[in-house]
Amino acid sequence: MDLRRRAYCDRILRVDLSSGEISTTPLPVESMPLILGGKGLGAWEIYHDQSQGVEPLSPENQLIFHNGPLTGTTAPTAGRFGCTTLSPATRTYSDAYCGGYWGQMLKYAGYDALVVKGAADQPVMLVIDDERFDLRPADHLWGLNITQTSEQIRQEFGSEWQSLVIGPPGENQRNLAGIFNDSRALARGGVGAVMGSKNLKAILTRGNGHVTVFDPDGYRRALQLAFRAVRMSSETTLLNREGTVNILEIIDVMGALPTRNFQRGQFEAADKISGNSFREHEWVKDYACFGCPIACGKYTRPLSDGVVIEGPEYETTFAMGPNCAIGDRETIIRLNWWCDEYGLDTISTGGVVGLVMEMFERGMLDAGDLDGIEPRFGDAAAALALVEKMAKVEGCGEWLAQGVAAIADQHPQAQPFAMHVKGLEMPAYHPNAAKGTALAYAVSERGACHLRGAPLGELFSGSADPLAIDGKAQLFRDHQADKAIWDSACLCYFPGYGMKLKELWQLVTAATGFDYPTVRDFELIGERISTLARAFNVREGFKREADTLPPRNLAQPMVGGPADGHVVELAPMLDEYYRLMGWDEEGIPTPERMQELQLLNEDGSRE
């Protein structure tokens, strides 16, 4: 089977920064129909190639960048790529995804994945130019922020190159550090810290190759159906008009907009920071990632001192806004700017600021701990000061940029309201007001995550009663399988509001020629990949006790709004979910299920 006629490059680029050795290997050809690429390939690599108990910031940890079979074609959003590693924040399997313009470059350069391990003695950058690749010194870039680094690279190499870079938080191996392709980021789980631990400042890529699909006519037809489905969706129309933040007001109405470090589920100034108000007052131009017909990205008009961002996203707006009780757009834009400019994850950064504000108000921290800053909820100046410290990794920013879980480890009295799961800060849907989403936070393989199949339709579209727990395990199981396939084919979340799995199945079968007779056969890929990620975590020692939520969700009833009085009844949902997945009561996939999913051979040996 020639994978190069089936939309793949059939090459993984492997870089060992310790030895300086760079080589390529073919894809695991027999396994590709089982794992597809993207998330599947990342999970496969890290599960099979990395031994148990590796320290996340040690040279042994692998940083795996991957694209998918559709990447680089004209499928909607086919520039997306991902990154899988062992997270320093959660010590779990962790995968992050990013739009922007780097993903298709790696594919055009001729690689389905890039695996980086080892660590360089000195700061280096990896240069990938089609068939040629080498490591070059990057001392002159070390210490520069994201924009400075990207600009410097553009000047040295030219604008036809795309780069992935880290800023000071990544260099200093902070848990909140992301990896950036200009304004777009692989943000979550501390991937920037892993890159920093390897002394790898930047990855530059230029590609002139091509992607060949298996059945061009079938693929063309599937593309027409996919584009039509995306166009004929009111959700994608809304995404174009009001960005991802278009949902803020409905989430607020549902009582699920986390406010003041998740003390409430509604925010009094929600209308000031809605998609409509950003559209009316701040945004001047649409931004699309590579291959995206939706264009949910927005450039802001310059502030008085020239600050411009591409954003803010809904998650950023929640984290910098309601979560810190900040209701003015300019402050949210400025906080977003610090994160993008220096390389921080906005969700986690806002999570830290919210936590610190609550701790300060409760007297658990004082100005002496915080370089003289006195953060209270709603204090824009304090929030800006804290985020600047984290961005520059100065003073208290050094330990704040390690994230909510690390702060709560140092201050155990904050544990009841340290809003994270397994060490990853919580995204923008209050678990007490969205029970299916609560289950997803508790179980997701990278910690609290809304993108691993959280059934958000319970909040947007009335697909289920958000406060009920009945049926939520099934709902989450189905969505999780679905999303794992999108991440493996490597398309963005948002075309999925118009396209369904059927349209994706049509694209993938035409592109790869792999034999999935029905959509259900295709869906099995998703469950396989989620289970593989779970198996990795189990090997690292994670089981049921880690699949939990903070006491604020489990024991502290919500105050106000439609979810007034609600806590998350997690245990029955967990039981049901494990049963549906074929895992035992400790959440460990059974050998029988692993065999059914073709993750173990009949005799129990590994594939």
Partner 1 sequence: MNAGLQARFDRLFNRHGDGRAVCVAADHGYMSDVTPNVVNLRPVTEAVIQGGVDGILLSPGQAMRLASYFQGRDGPALIVRVPQRLLTHQKVVTAQQAVELGASAITIYLFLGYNDQIEAIGIEVCARFVRECHQVGLPCIIEPLAYGGQVTGANSVEILTLGARMAVEIGADALKIPYTGDVDTFRNLVDVAGVPVLVLGGARSDYERDALELFAEGLEAGGSGCLMGRNVTKSPDPQGMVEQLCGIAHQGWTVDRALQTEQWDLIKLKAHPAKCTGCMLCVVACVATHDDGSFGTSLSRLRIDPGRKQGQHRVMFCTLCKKCLDVCPTDALRWHPQSGAVELLVDKCTASDECVKICPTQVIVHSDTGIQIESGESLDWYPVVCDLCGGEPECAIICPTEAIFIDQRKELA
By beta-carbon proximity to partner 1, the closer residue of 291 and 589 is 291
Under the criterion CB under 8 A, does residue 455 sit at the interface with partner 1?
Answer: yes
Q: Tell me which residues in 329-368 interact with partner 1 (CB under 8 A).
A: none
Under the criterion CB under 8 A, does residue 520 sit at the interface with partner 1?
Answer: yes
Q: x/- site string to partner 1, residues 387 to 426, per CB under 8 A?
A: ----------------------------------------
Q: Tell me which residues in 83-102 interact with partner 1 (CB under 8 A).
A: 101
**Least distance to partner 1, CB of residue 232, Å:** 5
By beta-carbon proximity to partner 1, the closer residue of 389 and 477 is 477
Under the criterion CB under 8 A, does residue 471 sit at the interface with partner 1?
Answer: yes
Under the criterion CB under 8 A, does residue 2 sit at the interface with partner 1?
Answer: no
Size of the site for partner 1 (CB under 8 A): 68
Q: x/- site string to partner 1, residues 106 to 125, per CB under 8 A?
A: --x-----------------
Residues 45, 112, 341, 523: which binds partner 1 (CB under 8 A)? 523
- Other residues' Cβ atoms within 10 Å of the Cβ of residue 58: 15
Nearest Cα to 296, choosing from 279, 308, 280, 281? 279
By beta-carbon proximity to partner 1, the closer residue of 242 and 425 is 242
Residues 28, 218, 293, 395: which binds partner 1 (CB under 8 A)? 293
Q: Give yes or no for a cis peptide into 322 (omega within 30° of 0).
A: no
Q: Candidates 118-126, 163-171, 202-210, 549-557: pick the segment binding partner 1 (CB under 8 A).
A: 202-210
By beta-carbon proximity to partner 1, the closer residue of 39 and 544 is 39
- Other residues' Cβ atoms within 10 Å of the Cβ of residue 492: 21
What is the phi/psi pair of residue 578, to 5°? Answer: -60, -40
344 with 178: CB under 8 angstroms? yes
Report how far residue 415's alpha carbon sits from residue 235's, in angstroms, rounded to the nearest whole number: 38
Report how far residue 537's alpha carbon sits from residue 539's, in angstroms, rounded to the nearest whole number: 5
**Least distance to partner 1, CB of residue 38, Å:** 17
- What 459-465 contacts at long range (C-beta under 8 Å, 24+ apart), as own/partner pairs, is 459/250, 459/251, 459/254, 459/256, 459/429, 459/433, 459/434, 460/247, 460/250, 464/436
Report how far residue 477's alpha carbon sits from residue 534's, in angstroms, rounded to the nearest whole number: 13
**Least distance to partner 1, CB of residue 495, Å:** 12
By beta-carbon proximity to partner 1, the closer residue of 284 and 367 is 284
Under the criterion CB under 8 A, does residue 291 sit at the interface with partner 1?
Answer: yes
By beta-carbon proximity to partner 1, the closer residue of 66 and 435 is 435
Joined tokens for residue 209: 């190759």
Q: State the Rg of the chain over Cα.
A: 22
Report how far residue 548's alpha carbon sits from residue 544's, in angstroms, rounded to the nearest whole number: 8
Under the criterion CB under 8 A, does residue 469 sit at the interface with partner 1?
Answer: no
Under the criterion CB under 8 A, does residue 475 sit at the interface with partner 1?
Answer: yes
Residues 113, 386, 424, 464: which binds partner 1 (CB under 8 A)? 464
323 with 258: CB under 8 angstroms? yes
Q: CA-CA distances (angstroms) from residue 288 to 146, 184, 296, 311, 462? A: 20, 11, 7, 12, 29
Under the criterion CB under 8 A, does residue 605 sit at the interface with partner 1?
Answer: no
**Least distance to partner 1, CB of residue 138, Å:** 23
Under the criterion CB under 8 A, does residue 301 sit at the interface with partner 1?
Answer: no
Is 79 in a helix, a strand, or coil?
Answer: coil
Q: Candidates 318-326, 330-338, 471-479, 556-564: pick the segment binding partner 1 (CB under 8 A).
A: 471-479
Q: Tell me which residues in 136-165 interact with partner 1 (CB under 8 A).
A: 159
- Other residues' Cβ atoms within 10 Å of the Cβ of residue 54: 17
Nearest Cα to 438, choosing from 486, 476, 470? 476
147 with 165: CB under 8 angstroms? no
300 with 311: CB under 8 angstroms? yes
By beta-carbon proximity to partner 1, the closer residue of 101 and 157 is 101
**Least distance to partner 1, CB of residue 310, Å:** 7
**Least distance to partner 1, CB of residue 370, Å:** 34
Residues 22, 519, 538, 580: which binds partner 1 (CB under 8 A)? 519
Nearest Cα to 3, choosing from 212, 197, 210, 189? 212
Q: Tell me which residues in 266-285 interact with partner 1 (CB under 8 A).
A: 285
By beta-carbon proximity to partner 1, the closer residue of 225 and 253 is 225
By beta-carbon proximity to partner 1, the closer residue of 343 and 397 is 343
Under the criterion CB under 8 A, does residue 232 sit at the interface with partner 1?
Answer: yes
Nearest Cα to 170, choosing from 141, 191, 185? 191
- Other residues' Cβ atoms within 10 Å of the Cβ of residue 303: 14
Under the criterion CB under 8 A, does residue 229 sit at the interface with partner 1?
Answer: yes
Taking the CA atoms of residue 270, residue 271, residue 274 and residue 278 in that order, the dihedral angle to the nearest 10 degrees is: -130
Nearest Cα to 583, choosing from 519, 525, 527, 521? 527
Residues 54, 250, 253, 288: which binds partner 1 (CB under 8 A)? 288
Under the criterion CB under 8 A, does residue 501 sit at the interface with partner 1?
Answer: yes
Binding site for partner 1 (CB under 8 A): 72-74, 79, 101, 104, 108, 159, 207-213, 216, 225, 227-229, 231-235, 237, 285-295, 297, 299, 308, 310, 436, 455, 457-458, 461-464, 470-471, 474-475, 478-479, 481-482, 496, 500-504, 506, 519-520, 522-523
